[in-house]
C-alpha cells in the first residue's frame, strides 16, 4: 500500500486537523472486518438517514451503540457459549464479536435504534442550528445610500 505525506497541505491551514485524521483512518482498515456485519446506509430525505445492519444471532443485550463527537460506534459481543455436544457440518452464520465505526458529520444525531428480525436499524437526523444555516444578505444599490445621506 502506498503512503502519502499530506503535511505540505497543512502548512498554511489552521483547524483542519480533523481532515488529516479522517484520511489516516481511511488507510487503517482491518481487512478482516470490512464485510462483517453487512450494512446499508440510506438517505431518506434531505436531513434524514438510516443505517441498517444485519446482526443475526445477537440479542438486544449483546449490542451497544455509542455516538461520540463525530463517530458512531456499533459493537456486538456474542456471550453465548458453544454447546460442546454440537458438531457443525457447515457454519455459515457468523457469531463473532464485532466493532463497526461510522464517521458522521457535525450536527448529525442518532434519534432511534431498533432491533427487529435480526436487523439493527439506526435512524439519524441532521439538525443544523439556525446560527449555522446560510443567511441571505440584502444588496443595496449605491443610489439609495446616496439619497439617504442627502435627506439627512
Evaluate whether 70 touches 103 at the Cβ level (below 8 Å): yes
Q: What is the pLDDT of residue 133?
A: 74
Cα–Cα distance for residue pair 80/17, rounded to 1 Å: 42
- Taking the CA atoms of residue 110, residue 115, residue 46 and residue 128 in that order, the dihedral angle to the nearest 10 degrees is -10
Say if residue 37 is preceded by a cis peptide, omega within 30 of 0.
yes
CA–CA separation, 82 and 25 (whole Å):
35
pLDDT grade, residue 6 (50/70/90)? Answer: low
| Cα 144 to Cα 121: distance, rounded to the nearest angstrom | 57
> Domain map of the chain by residue range?
37-80+93-130
Instruction: Judge if pTM exceeds 0.75.
Output: no
pLDDT in tens, 73-128: 999 997 666 666 788 888 887 778 899 999 888 888 999 999 999 999 999 998 87
pLDDT (tens digit per residue) in 18-55: 666 666 666 665 555 567 899 999 999 988 999 999 99
Q: Does domain 37-80+93-130 have CATH number 2.60.40.790?
A: yes
Amino acid at each position: 500500500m502506498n503512503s502519502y505525506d499530506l503535511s505540505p497541505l497543512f502548512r498554511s491551514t489552521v483547524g483542519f486537523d480533523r481532515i488529516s485524521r479522517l484520511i489516516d483512518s481511511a488507510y487503517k482498515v482491518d481487512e478482516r472486518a470490512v464485510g462483517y456485519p453487512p450494512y446499508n446506509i440510506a438517505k431518506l430525505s434531505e436531513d434524514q438517514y438510516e443505517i441498517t445492519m444485519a446482526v443475526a444471532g445477537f440479542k438486544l443485550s449483546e449490542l451497544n451503540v455509542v455516538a461520540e463527537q463525530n463517530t458512531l460506534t456499533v459493537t456486538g459481543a456474542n456471550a453465548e457459549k458453544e454447546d460442546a455436544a454440537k458438531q457443525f457440518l457447515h457454519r455459515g452464520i457468523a457469531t463473532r464479536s464485532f466493532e463497526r465505526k461510522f464517521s458522521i458529520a457535525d450536527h448529525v444525531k442518532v434519534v432511534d435504534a431498533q432491533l427487529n428480525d435480526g436487523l439493527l436499524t439506526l435512524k439519524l437526523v441532521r439538525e443544523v442550528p439556525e446560527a449555522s444555516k446560510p443567511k441571505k444578505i440584502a444588496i443595496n444599490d449605491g443610489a439609495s445610500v446616496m439619497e439617504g445621506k442627502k435627506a439627512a
